[in-house]
Structure 1
């Protein structure tokens, strides 16, 4: 969800030779499909596709290939580190943060090679500050993640960054930040979740839906945002939305639509990655089918195929620097 930033003038020539190179149609298609699978927590099947673009010099593919390898292996392997380094050398701030992590197994085993983690962190902070000073909200968020102060995240949110707004609301909800006036924390949380939702940031939409549900929002508003989030491809929202339009149960005034409910749940059941989606889909599909005849079920499958043509891919919307 978050793109990458340039490292330093020293690497300009190296950066230009790769970052400005255009992927072929086939390489771009592989990258796009790899990122879709990655965001469905399919960290194994995403790797061969991401590797095609990574080997062609695409730094986004290099970073996410490193992530997929790390997550599937449960630690930063030598190969994952290789791809982080490739991305970091092209200016990827998140790759630099990964390379500076004290949790990297090679640091524990004292087998790390190349530039030290401290050097990568210095680079990341230097370039992030330069870019943040020019209004780059992504760099501001990186500075917050790198423990440079909550003020950076607040600046990103105030500048209109949907992810920054979502993250700030979540941080406030966790108890961070100072609020002297009673009730002002809850108002700020609602304000920033709403701003993120209205920005079209899917995780922000989902958490704003939850915020409305927990804080007495109208059924119509909760139903509206749940539907909108599901339509954006948010897997967890789709699980809930499908059950609601199947009236299992219905809580938000959403009309009964068994064909649509079956189609959405059918898509979830076919996911091959991790997370709640496939499991919930397989568990809920028979419950919905019990209320349908065979003709309706076939209509549901046909609905799913048409939905995939006109809507974004299903996704957990994994943060660029998460897990």
Structure 2
């Protein structure tokens, strides 16, 4: 009887211990996710120094992607791989982050011209491909995009292009945008006519923009304007002006203040909206402190009366409140 009681006590203790351990693990994971999200947002706001502490703490709690971005920030700060950035990349790679494996697979672009990375870069490249390929074949579009970068490093740009195309065809918004960029700015892919290439550029941009990807909206508005399709350009300008993308908001403010007198080949808004455009620029500068925005504001102010300026300043107080202004930096492109 005594033995049974002791056994029950041990069972209760074990249950309580396991429950507490699971709760603690869930709490740590939740805290790591929160820190990563905060750090990632700061990173996308070009506030890498402020982001780094949060990402390091998330990495300490076991967050693999946070470790990747911590490694990225440190590497970018030094312009080459340091032991600290390498350690963060290794943590992320061991946690399954394919892009961290690809960083470790890169050569002079991250090691520095006078430095040698003392690890087997080819092994990391093969590991990245081996990790991503089954997932990509199963339909994982993020894995497809990772493979495109892997094959670019491997020296097989054609395979890289095909994986971007497959991701785009499977609905990956950034892949669709990137297809348009590769076709337009890099001359990738074969076309019998420029008209055929142009049609595909717009097709991929439209697909990405319809999914709400701000960079695609921004580029699509510009492409339509260049083609003289101003009604469609204005429609996409209006939509990009409702996003949180810095470049889109900046240009939208300028478009509104310029109206139909905007530069040739640019979006020409059907009417001048000085207060709306200037208030957006005021709000954007308040949130970012960007010097180019400030310069544009000062240039516009020289032609305005004090009443219009005051109205725009008042309206700006309602805009972009509690809205992080992001730059949509790619995970692997920089």
The answer as to whether partners of 1:261 and 1:300 remain within 8 angstroms in 2 is: no
Label 1:134 to 1:231 Cα distance change in 2 as closer, same or farther (>3 A). same
Over aligned residues, Cα RMSD in angstroms? Answer: 2.6
Q: CA deviation at 1:182?
A: 5.1
- 1:262 maps onto 2:278 in alignment: yes
1:51-100 deviations in Å (ceiling 9; x for gaps): 22222111221111111122222222221111111111111111111111
Once residues 303 and 287 of structure 1 are traced to their aligned partners in structure 2, the CA distance between those partners, rounded to angstroms, is 23
Shift of 1:301: 3.7
Q: Does 1:124 align with 2:165?
A: no
Deviation at 1:268, TM superposition (A): 3.1
Task: Give the aligned partner of residue 32 of structure 1.
Answer: 37
TM-score by length of 1: 0.81
Matched, 1:213 2:232: no
The CA deviation at 1:26 is 5.7
Q: 1:41 Cα shift?
A: 2.2
SS in 2 for 1:226: helix
Structure 1, unaligned runs of 5 or more: 1-16
d(CA) in 1 for partners of 2:282 and 2:29? 33
Equivalent in 164, 168, 171 of residue 175 of structure 2 = 164
1:135 and 1:209 map into 2 onto residues whose CA distance is 31
Runs of at least 5 residues in structure 2 that lack an aligned partner in the other structure: 1-21
- Deviation digits for residues 241-260 of structure 1 (CA, Å, limit 9, x no counterpart): 11122237555335544444
Please give the TM-score of this superposition, normalised by the length of structure 2: 0.79
| Equivalence for 1:5 | none
Check 1:76–1:268 CA distance in 2 against 1; reply closer, same or farther (3 A cut). farther
Instruction: Pick closer, same or farther for the CA change 1:201–1:215 going to 2, 3 Å.
Output: same
Tell which structure's C-alpha radius of gyration is larger: 2
Deviation at 1:285, TM superposition (A): 2.2
For CA contacts below 8 A with separation 6 or more, give which structure has more relative contact order: 1
Question: Is 1:53 paired with 2:58?
Answer: yes
Give distance in 2, aligned partners of 1:77 and 1:268: 35
Higher helix share: 2
